Structure 1
């Protein structure tokens, strides 16, 4: 009996180690990595690359693709919960330097949880492609990253070609939501959305120091947009185009008069990613309707 146990124990130990991905496959294909990613931008790329199997949790702003909503969340990326992150037992936390609060980051550092960032400034198509390729390299998905970048180039070139054929430059106001006392949270010229609308052949008339800021009903009226885009959050709260057309500041605009008020997904317009070209083409159809 003792001889049998002597030989069985190494077999059991060997099986146990082999079943644990961290030790069982040197190629890394089945490694047990537990990644918490706190960037909606990175998360979309990770899914587009087909590298999402290592994700165990994300932040609340990560809403695309729809499959990501099945993952646990650890708070908004600027209002994170250290306990929520630690509870996921992560082997790596990925972020884009747009996270907080600071004391949470200090807690994670004290826990010696590895953290990694990629490109944290993505304001141009070239920077967008660089980010995609960085993530592709990290997750060993280089061919997929190259394919995403080629598709992005094709779509952006088509958008540029389309702009040359338009004879109008519509004014576009993008509202995130309307609050009490006729105050709106609107997207300004200093935003990623403004770049995308420009690439689509339109212009955002609302200025400001931040990418998104509160504006009055009077400012909306003075802008007199040809098109109003409401993000899913604001549109769904109001419920219908007719309700939106009744809003102070909106009612007298050309957009309201011609019923050119449309719903868009917030995640399609607040950052650049693998679908930016497709999103710009979609915005062109909205803002140049009938052209």
Structure 2
């Protein structure tokens, strides 16, 4: 798992390196919030509570406006210097930041740190988180609206999923290919829950949310659909000819039936106010031309 974490940190940092030169356009803010949690960032923006957020971690990629803010680095590989350079009056984090010595240093400096209630990988948990953040930022009405829309979208997706006769077998390839070994999501991931809600199932079982997979095992899993996250898909230019060159992929039903689709990585790794819409998007992709 440590190797997967290091690979993720490296890829995210490389892909986001230009964000380190983002200008601080809120230098006059007296309240200066550094938000180090991608789901908190999205919810804050959705609530309209982003005015005092002056910096984020590199995993905060939605909405697009978040990527225009200065970044303090990857949330599990932070440096105190990068955070302090933004002169925060408050750090919002989700108890998933590191390394430990940096967290200890920040606490010794007595910079206020705010963590919201335990984040749950369920719609009920997201609903609670949105309401808690709405109350904290005095955006209660906006929180109610977000949760109502989330519930409507989820009800629609779950009702639609019941109409399909079989569950589509899906393989999610995260970041494309690295040294002939793929990084894929498993049945223990947040993405697996979303695919299930959409009426599908992931083709890879494991005890951890992500694992490395050889080309041979990719071929053996033989998914009906492959969802290729944006980094890998864009790197290949979305070309089926290029995708065919990926070892193990060309022999799958997904490739033969031209059922390989692009999906944004951030839409699959955490739950938030757009989860219902994202499940509907997944549903549309994995059930194209399927009989109900």
Compute the TM-score of the two structures, normalised by the length of structure 1.
Answer: 0.88
Counterpart Cα distance in 2 of 1:238 and 1:66:
22
Q: Is the 8 A contact 2:176 2:228 kept in 1?
A: no
Following superposition, the deviation at residue 180 of structure 1 comes to 4.5
Q: Secondary structure at the match of 2:241?
A: helix
- Structure 1 position 228, deviation (Å): 0.2
The aligned residue for residue 92 of structure 1 is 90
Aligned to 2:272: 273
The residue that corresponds to 1:101 in the other structure is 99
Deviations 1:165-218 (A, max 9, x none): 112311000001344442100001110000000000000010122211111111
2:202 corresponds to 1:199: no
Match of 1:235 in 2: 233
Distance 2:51 2:141 in 1: 18
> CA–CA distance in 2 between the matches of 1:68 and 1:216?
35
Residue aligning to 2:5: none
* Unpaired stretches in structure 1, ≥5 consecutive residues: 1-29
**2:34 matches 1:36:** yes
Q: In structure 2, which of residues 182, 186, 189 is the aligned counterpart of residue 184 of structure 1?
A: 182
2: distance between equivalents of 1:79 and 1:149? 32
Partner of 1:78: 76
Alignment-derived partner of residue 215 in structure 1 = 213
1 CA distance for matches of 2:226 and 2:176?
13
Pairwise CA distance, 1:41: 0.4
What SS does the corresponding residue of 2:213 show, helix, strand or coil? strand
Over alpha carbons, which structure has the higher Rg? Answer: 1
Q: TM-score, normalised by structure 2?
A: 0.87
**How much is the aligned-residue C-alpha RMSD, in angstroms?**
1.3
Query: Which structure's residues are more often helix, by fraction?
Result: 1
What SS is found at the alignment partner of 2:202?
A: coil
Matches within 5 A, 1:1-291: 32-239=30-237, 240-291=239-290
Partner of 1:8: none
Q: Distance in 1 between matches of 2:127 and 2:187?
A: 23
